């Protein structure tokens, strides 16, 4: 009888070790998959952020180009006028100040969103 008790003990111990190894492998695999998923999500977020910033910079550049062309056309049309140059100059300065204020506001809003 003592032989069967010893045999049962070793059988139980071997089963516990086998179960322990399988649990360890399953946990290791699960943590590995979680790490891979986390790394993939971080990479996707980084790419998305870069794309958004690139689009914002492109849009801001296009807006700045259109503002420059409008200012240049206003300046060209004001140069062609004679007579009230000081008023035209003051009007142009006022328009530029308004544009600068508008751009500052847009920049503040962009910084708040970032």
Does 22 have pLDDT greater than 70?
yes
Does 21 have pLDDT greater than 90?
yes
Decide which of 109 and 74 is more confident.
Answer: 109
Distance of CA 111 to the CA centre of its chain: 13
Give dist(CA 2, CA 43) in Å, integer. Answer: 61
pLDDT at 112: 87
Does 32 have pLDDT greater than 80?
yes
Report residue 74's pLDDT band, with 50, 70 and 90 as the boundaries: low
User: Average pLDDT, stretch 23-35?
Assistant: 93
Contact between 71 and 99 under an 8 Å Cβ cutoff? The reply is yes
Q: What is the pTM of this model?
A: 0.45
User: Average pLDDT, stretch 49-56?
Assistant: 90
pLDDT at 73: 61
Give dist(CA 85, CA 33) in Å, integer. Answer: 72
Run of H or E residues at 83: none
Q: How many helices (H) and strands (E) does the chain have?
A: 2, 0
């Amino acid at each position: 009888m003592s032989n069967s008790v010893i045999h049962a003990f070793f059988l139980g111990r071997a089963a516990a070790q086998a179960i322990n190894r399988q649990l360890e492998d399953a946990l290791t695999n699960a943590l590995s998959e979680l790490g891979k998923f986390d790394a993939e999500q971080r990479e996707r977020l980084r790419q998305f952020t870069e794309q958004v910033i690139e689009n914002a910079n492109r849009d801001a550049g296009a807006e700045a180009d259109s503002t420059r062309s409008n200012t240049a056309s206003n300046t060209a049309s004001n140069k062609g006028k004679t007579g009230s140059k000081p008023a035209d100059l003051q009007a142009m300065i006022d328009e530029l100040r308004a544009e600068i204020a508008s751009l500052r506001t847009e920049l503040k809003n962009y910084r708040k969103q970032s």
